Amino acid sequence: MKEGKDMDGKERKLHLAFLEHPDDLPGALADREEGLPDGFILSGCGKKEDCRMILKEIRKGDDTALLPVFLDEFLSNEEQEASDGLARTREEMEVLAGNIIKRFRDVDENTLKKSLDLRLLAFLYTREEKKLRPVLDPLSRGLYSYPLMDYLSGGLLESSGWIAELLEKGYIREEDLVDRIRKCPKCDGAHLNYVDVCPFCRSMDIRQVSFIHCFTCGRVGPEDSFIREGVMQCPYCGARLRHIGSDYDKPTDNYICGSCSQTFAEPEVSCRCFLCGTWSLTENLSVRTYREYALSDKGILAVRSGSTEDLYSVLDTLNYMKPEPFRHLLNWQLDLSERPPDEPFCLMIISFQNIGEVRESAGWRKVSEMMDSLTKRLRGIIRKTDISTRTSANDLLLLLPKTGKKGCVVLASKVKELEDVTRQPDGTYLELLVKTAVFPGDRQNGEDGVSLVARLKG
Minimum Å gap between C-beta 247 and Zn ion is: 9
β-bridge pairing 39-42 and 69-71:
parallel
Minimum Å gap between C-beta 178 and Zn ion is: 23
Q: How far apart are CA 280 and CA 265, in angstroms?
A: 21
- If the CB atoms of residues 231 and 276 are measured against Zn ion, the closer one turns out to be 276
Minimum Å gap between C-beta 290 and Zn ion is: 19
Omega cis (within 30) before 68: no
Q: How far apart are CA 16 and CA 235, in angstroms?
A: 86
Contact set with Zn ion (CB under 5 A): 184, 186-187, 189, 198, 200-201, 203, 214, 216-217, 234, 236-237, 239, 257, 259-260, 273, 275-276, 278
Cβ contacts of 10 within 8 Å, gap of 6 or more: none
- If the CB atoms of residues 249 and 419 are measured against Zn ion, the closer one turns out to be 249
Q: How far apart are CA 376 and CA 315, in angstroms?
A: 9
Q: Is 19 exposed, middle or buried (0-12, 13-18, 19+ CB in 10 A)?
A: buried
* 3 state DSSP class of 260: coil
- If the CB atoms of residues 118 and 197 are measured against Zn ion, the closer one turns out to be 197
- If the CB atoms of residues 19 and 273 are measured against Zn ion, the closer one turns out to be 273
β-bridge pairing 206-208 and 396-400:
unpaired
Minimum Å gap between C-beta 183 and Zn ion is: 8
CB 67 within 8 A of CB 1: yes
- If the CB atoms of residues 178 and 187 are measured against Zn ion, the closer one turns out to be 187
Q: How far apart are CA 428 and CA 353, in angstroms?
A: 13
Minimum Å gap between C-beta 177 and Zn ion is: 25
First-last CA distance in the chain? 30
Q: Which of left, alpha, beta for 230 (phi over 0: left; psi -120 to 50: alpha)?
A: left
- If the CB atoms of residues 198 and 371 are measured against Zn ion, the closer one turns out to be 198
Q: How far apart are CA 129 and CA 219, in angstroms?
A: 69
Minimum Å gap between C-beta 135 and Zn ion is: 22
Helices assigned H by DSSP within 135-230: 147-152, 159-169
Count Cβ atoms below 10 Å from residue 220 Cβ, excluding itself: 16
- What are the C-alpha distances in Å from 443 to residues 350, 409, 421, 447? 19, 17, 33, 7
Minimum Å gap between C-beta 149 and Zn ion is: 23
β-bridge pairing 227-228 and 231-232:
antiparallel
- If the CB atoms of residues 251 and 325 are measured against Zn ion, the closer one turns out to be 251
**Chain center to CA of 184:** 25
- If the CB atoms of residues 259 and 368 are measured against Zn ion, the closer one turns out to be 259
Minimum Å gap between C-beta 203 and Zn ion is: 5
Q: How far apart are CA 263 and CA 256, in angstroms?
A: 4
- If the CB atoms of residues 141 and 416 are measured against Zn ion, the closer one turns out to be 141
Minimum Å gap between C-beta 139 and Zn ion is: 16
Minimum Å gap between C-beta 257 and Zn ion is: 3
**Chain center to CA of 226:** 63
- If the CB atoms of residues 132 and 198 are measured against Zn ion, the closer one turns out to be 198
